[in-house]
């Protein structure tokens, strides 16, 4: 076998701790990846040494540079490496990467991890495999073409001789890294596509799984921070004379975001924080209410929008249409409510800073701490712990800033722990939005014109106002643009409506709003056209065969067109590929009680996510996305009063419960295409599928979330 050997990696051999030798230790520097979801740079970091260590005992340690927040990434990514490495899965160990630029972007969000790691991890595994194979061939003095690899060994085919990877690692490490190692044909996969059990399950059933909040460091304190309840408010003055005398209290310090109380135990820090008297400068938002915000959205809806997508002549087509419809939809702010409250453990010393944190973006944590302490990046060590949920909340670094500033001020390691009240009242919320849609049908009931105006605050403009001076945030219209339907005249536009409420990424943030409006409205059009909701959609999908197949699969598996069980009604909705590149169609089976209670009994989904790296993982993500989407569809609402969040805990911000969980069936379209995202696409279609089923049951259109009759 001849391989192009271009870039000679600085492969070095390091003695591993008790595990024999380490295959390489070269770090390609990729430079800062500024964007939150940067494109992967496969050329930059496929070096096997970055991802793989092979011990003398044959153990294969695979480094995972993305954060495990429940999506099974500590299983899916190692599977990809192990596949191309031809490792024996039983010998694979998984290790979490420390923050380092050498991994490329470690940001974990947008359902991007598998999609953007796919190529570089395959190449890393394949390169290491090629090096091991070459090492064996040299040892035997035979042509590499006579050798093959399987289950962590190299086999000399003609003679049946076998060498374990562990016996070859040292030699292999001295070879140059092949630049373009051959990759397997999907038909040859024996790990990818299998239902491999998650690597993190055992520790999650016996209490050993270590989340951020479980970090324990010698000499640490626990801190609780009093923050201004009003958005944008600051500390005017505070009196800590009582708090200081409380048991266990060590120090009370002012930091950027409020007053931090450090004590010996978490409980003592909570109690002492409650004993503080703080005078706040509430600032300009002190009287803000949700009603003000709704009024603003409605007013802004009449402004001129920034055009996001246009084709044909909408105005002309509308005026010539046989039937015209319009409707307005609105969705509220939502909190993430990860089960593990925000927390961060930091130890700032004079010349270094060490952090243990459940984060979706270890590199952003590192940059944040470096900026706050003035330390060079290399002196900031960031350990990504397990995350007790992420959903976008842990892409932020506010809790990191609090821990770093507190540790620095008190001169000791500290764990800042948020209460649930802190969590719900100081989130970066899923934005509110208002959607105005209109459409024209021709005499045959076919849509000839379609408009969707999104009125919403922009996350992008909140974080970087100068990048959005033209008033268009393409993120905010994601899911509204690139509709899967063939409609000749279309106008999608956007009106930016900033508010003082902090907003951020949230599981399928934009499609969770746009698709609710779009797919509810499409249902209204179908009804107006006297057409079946499934057939109506399907008839407009001729130019998107892949999406059409997904819609058909869901309808078929759900028994669309057959009578539903007594008392139950069906609704269908489609979630376009959007940022995650993954189309999903869902059918919800719903009943409505005499008291108006909406019950969801069954949700059937079809998904085309390319190759399903781990089908069990894909199914779990669909279940999870649907449950998260159902909480948003039926319960979730953050309201603002007097400039602050009204809700405070799970009594007024309820989550879906086990008794409300429908039977969920997931059907994966078989595919040999590269894998796409699965963490989020299960969510957007849920609310419109339920709303459409409610219409089927009651004849009522619900155009506001959460749905309520």
Partner 1 sequence: MASLSLTVNGEKKTLDVDPDTPLLWVLRDHLEMTGTKFGCGRGLCGSCVVLSDDAPIRSCITPVGLVNGKSILTIEGLSSTRDHPVQKAWISEEVPQCGYCQSGQIMSAVALLKRVPHPTDAEINQAMGDVLCRCGTYQRIRRAIHQAAEAGGGQ
Contact residues for ligand FES (CB under 6 A)?
A: 70, 339, 389
Rounded to a whole number of angstroms, the minimum distance from the CB of residue 244 to ligand FES is: 28
Rounded to a whole number of angstroms, the minimum distance from the CB of residue 631 to ligand FES is: 12
By rule CB under 8 A, what string of x and - marks binding of each residue 13-52 to partner 1? Answer: ----------------------------------------
Closer to ligand FES by Cβ: residue 75 or 520: 75
Rounded to a whole number of angstroms, the minimum distance from the CB of residue 619 to partner 1 is: 9
Rounded to a whole number of angstroms, the minimum distance from the CB of residue 131 to ligand FES is: 39
Q: What DSSP designation does 685 have?
A: T
Closer to partner 1 by Cβ: residue 138 or 616: 616
Give dist(CA 434, CA 621) in Å, integer: 28
Q: Which of 138, 419, 671, 698 binds partner 1 (CB under 8 A)?
A: 419
By rule CB under 8 A, what string of x and - marks binding of each residue 61-90 to partner 1? Answer: --------xxxx------------------
Say how many Å lie between the first and final Cα of the chain, rounded: 68
Give dist(CA 85, CA 181) in Å, integer: 11
Give dist(CA 269, CA 2) in Å, integer: 64
Beta-bridge partners for 348 = 353
Q: Which of 338, 361, 575, 586 binds partner 1 (CB under 8 A)?
A: 338
Sole window of 186-194, 199-207, 456-464, 569-577 interacting with partner 1 (rule: CB under 8 A): 199-207
Rounded to a whole number of angstroms, the minimum distance from the CB of residue 433 to partner 1 is: 23
Q: Which of 85, 278, 337, 587 binds partner 1 (CB under 8 A)?
A: 337
Closer to ligand FES by Cβ: residue 389 or 681: 389
Closer to partner 1 by Cβ: residue 90 or 187: 90
By rule CB under 8 A, what string of x and - marks binding of each residue 534-563 to partner 1? Answer: ------------------------------
Rounded to a whole number of angstroms, the minimum distance from the CB of residue 267 to partner 1 is: 4
Q: Decide: is 207 part of the binding site for partner 1 (CB under 8 A).
A: yes
Q: Which of 222, 333, 356, 494 binds partner 1 (CB under 8 A)?
A: 222
Burial, 274: exposed, middle or buried (Cβ in 10 Å; 0-12, 13-18, 19+)? middle
Cis peptide before 706 (omega within 30 of 0): yes
Closer to ligand FES by Cβ: residue 213 or 598: 213
Total Cβ atoms within 10 A of residue 197: 12
In what helix (H) or strand (E) does residue 25 lie, and over which residues does it extend? none
Going by C-alpha positions, the residue among 436, 431, 449 that lies closest to residue 703 is: 436
Give the strand pairing for 147-150 and 584-592.
Answer: unpaired
Rounded to a whole number of angstroms, the minimum distance from the CB of residue 200 to ligand FES is: 11
Total Cβ atoms within 10 A of residue 559: 15
Closer to partner 1 by Cβ: residue 124 or 664: 664
Going by C-alpha positions, the residue among 580, 582, 588, 628 that lies closest to residue 605 is: 588
208 touches, from ligand FES, partner 1, none (C-beta below 5 to 8 Å by class): partner 1
Cα–Cα–Cα angle for 231, 233, 238, nearest 5°?
A: 135
Closer to partner 1 by Cβ: residue 238 or 270: 270
Total Cβ atoms within 10 A of residue 428: 21
Q: Strand, helix or coil at 690?
A: helix
140 touches, from ligand FES, partner 1, none (C-beta below 5 to 8 Å by class): none
Going by C-alpha positions, the residue among 351, 420, 399 that lies closest to residue 655 is: 420
> Whose structure tokens read 């051959």?
182
Q: Strand, helix or coil at 436?
A: strand
Give dist(CA 372, CA 190) in Å, integer: 47
CA 437 to chain centre: 28
Q: Decide: is 620 part of the binding site for partner 1 (CB under 8 A).
A: yes
Give dist(CA 167, CA 189) in Å, integer: 25
Give dist(CA 16, CA 440) in Å, integer: 68
Q: Decide: is 636 part of the binding site for partner 1 (CB under 8 A).
A: no
498 touches, from ligand FES, partner 1, none (C-beta below 5 to 8 Å by class): none
**Rule CB under 8 A: which residues touch partner 1?**
69-72, 197-198, 200-211, 213-214, 216, 222, 247, 264-267, 270, 337-341, 386-391, 417, 419-420, 616, 620, 623-628, 649-651, 655-659, 661, 663-664
């Amino acid at each position: 076998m001849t391989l192009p050997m271009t870039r000679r990696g600085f492969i070095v051999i390091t003695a591993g701790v008790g595990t024999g030798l380490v295959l390489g230790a070269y770090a390609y520097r990729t430079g800062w990846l500024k964007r939150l979801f940067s494109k992967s740079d496969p050329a930059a970091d496929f070096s096997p040494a970055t991802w793989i260590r092979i011990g003398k005992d044959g153990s294969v340690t695979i480094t995972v540079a993305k954060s495990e927040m429940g999506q099974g990434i500590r299983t899916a990514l190692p599977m990809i490496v192990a596949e191309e490495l031809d490792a024996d899965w039983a010998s694979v160990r998984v290790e979490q990467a420390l923050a380092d630029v050498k991994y490329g972007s470690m940001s974990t969000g947008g359902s991007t991890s598998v999609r953007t790691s796919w190529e570089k991890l395959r190449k890393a595994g394949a390169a290491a495999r090629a090096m091991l194979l070459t090492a064996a061939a040299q040892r035997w003095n035979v042509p590499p073409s006579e050798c093959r690899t399987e289950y962590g060994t190299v086999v000399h085919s003609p003679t049946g001789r076998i060498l374990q990877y562990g016996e070859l690692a040292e030699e292999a490490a001295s070879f140059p890294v092949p630049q373009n190692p051959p990759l397997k044909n999907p038909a040859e996969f024996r790990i990818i596509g299998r239902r491999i059990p998650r690597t993190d399950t055992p520790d999650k059933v016996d209490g050993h799984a270590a989340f951020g909040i479980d970090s324990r460091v010698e000499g640490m304190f626990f801190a609780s921070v009093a923050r201004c309840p009003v958005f944008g408010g600051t500390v005017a003055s505070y009196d800590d004379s009582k708090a200081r005398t409380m048991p266990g209290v060590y120090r009370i310090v002012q930091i950027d975001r409020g007053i931090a109380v450090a004590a010996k135990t978490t409980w003592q820090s909570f109690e002492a924080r409650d004993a503080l008297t703080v005078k706040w400068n509430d600032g300009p938002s002190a009287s803000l209410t949700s009603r003000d915000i709704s009024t603003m959205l409605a007013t802004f809806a009449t402004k001129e929008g920034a055009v996001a997508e246009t084709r044909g002549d909408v105005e002309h087509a509308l005026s010539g249409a046989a039937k015209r419809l319009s409707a307005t939809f609105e969705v509220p702010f939502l909190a993430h409510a990860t089960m593990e409250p925000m927390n961060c453990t930091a130890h700032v010393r004079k010349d270094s800073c060490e952090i243990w944190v459940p984060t979706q973006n270890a590199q952003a944590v590192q940059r944040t701490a470096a900026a706050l302490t003035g330390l060079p990046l290399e002196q900031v060590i960031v350990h990504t712990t397990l995350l007790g949920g992420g959903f976008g909340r842990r892409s932020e670094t506010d809790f990191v800033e609090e821990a770093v500033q507190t540790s620095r001020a008190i001169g000791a390691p500290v764990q800042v722990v948020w209460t649930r009240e802190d969590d719900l009242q100081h989130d970066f919320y899923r934005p509110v939005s208002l959607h105005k849609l209109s459409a024209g049908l021709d005499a045959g009931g076919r849509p000839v014109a379609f408009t969707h105006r999104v009125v919403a605050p922009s996350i992008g403009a909140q974080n970087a106002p100068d990048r959005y001076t033209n008033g268009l945030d393409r993120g905010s219209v994601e899911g509204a643009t690139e509709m899967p339907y063939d409609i000749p005249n279309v106008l999608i536009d956007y009106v930016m409506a900033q508010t003082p409420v902090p907003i951020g990424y949230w599981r399928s943030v934009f499609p969770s709003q746009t698709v609710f409006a779009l797919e509810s409205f499409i249902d209204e059009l179908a009804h107006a056209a006297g057409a079946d909701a499934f057939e109506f959609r399907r008839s407009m999908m001729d130019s998107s065969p892949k999406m059409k197949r997904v819609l058909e699969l869901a309808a078929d598996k759900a028994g669309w067109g057959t009578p539903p069980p007594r008392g139950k009604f069906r609704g269908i909705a489609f979630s376009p590929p959007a940022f995650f590149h993954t189309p999903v169609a869902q059918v919800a089976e719903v009943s409505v009680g005499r008291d108006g209670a909406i019950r969801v009994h069954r949700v059937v989904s079809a998904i085309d996510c390319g190759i399903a790296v781990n089908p069990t993982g894909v199914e779990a993500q669909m279940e999870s996305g649907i449950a998260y989407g159902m909480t948003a569809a039926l319960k979730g609402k953050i309201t603002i009063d007097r400039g602050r969040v009204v809700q405070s805990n799970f009594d007024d911000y309820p989550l879906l419960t086990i008794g409300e969980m429908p039977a969920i069936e997931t059907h994966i379209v078989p595919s040999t295409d590269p894998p796409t995202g699965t963490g989020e696409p299960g969510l957007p279609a849920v609310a419109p599928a339920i709303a459409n089923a409610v219409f089927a049951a009651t004849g009522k259109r619900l155009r506001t979330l959460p749905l309520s009759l």
